[in-house]
Amino acid sequence: MGASLAPYLNHLPRRKALPALFFMCDENWALAMADATRRRAAGQEPAFSLSFYFGLAVTLWVVWLASTTIGALIGPALGDISRWGFDMAFPAVFFVLLKGMWKGMRCAIPWLVSLLCASLAYHYLPGAAYVPVGAITGIIAIVLMGAKA
């Protein structure tokens, strides 16, 4: 993620870019990338907005800590909360993030390859082996498609 953000950070000095990366997580990274794409399309320079990024980062950090604390305090009293469906919020957020990166069906083929391979790996391999499997097979798919085009 840091590598994909790097081209957008060229206008920043290192003393700003390195602290910014400290606060990077999936969500603010994806929204900042989508925002940068939108700003570039609108002709705004620099495409990457540090204030947009830090607004997200600080908000996320506060909410994250607060909700984890509340969860730890009242969680045991709630029992099994999966019957409320809250666990499905996680993939739902990621679907929205992926839509922000959507650039057409062709660009989504490596995503499907990743999903398929990672799911198989999750089913048949122990632990978190599915993460590198999904990432690497997706990148292989990108390279193979690039070679054809």
Residues that bind another protein (CB under 8 A): 1-7, 9-10, 14, 17-18, 21-22, 24, 26, 29-30, 33, 82-99, 101, 103, 107-108, 110-111, 113-115, 118-119, 122-123, 130-131, 133-135, 137-139, 141-143, 146
Nearer to another protein, 70 or 101 (CB): 101
Nearer to another protein, 44 or 99 (CB): 99
Nearer to another protein, 62 or 98 (CB): 98
Nearer to another protein, 43 or 127 (CB): 127
Least distance between another protein and beta carbon 76 (Å) = 20
CB 39 within 8 A of CB 19: no
Least distance between another protein and beta carbon 38 (Å) = 14
Q: Is it true that the peptide bond before 46 is cis, omega within 30 degrees of 0?
A: yes
* Residue 13 DSSP code: -
> Tokens standing for 39?
């700003």
Angle between helices 26-41 and 89-100 (to 10 degrees): 20
Least distance between another protein and beta carbon 119 (Å) = 5
Least distance between another protein and beta carbon 17 (Å) = 6
- Alpha helices (H) in 6-88, listed in sequence order: 14-22, 26-41, 50-78
CB 75 within 8 A of CB 83: no
CB 114 within 8 A of CB 137: yes
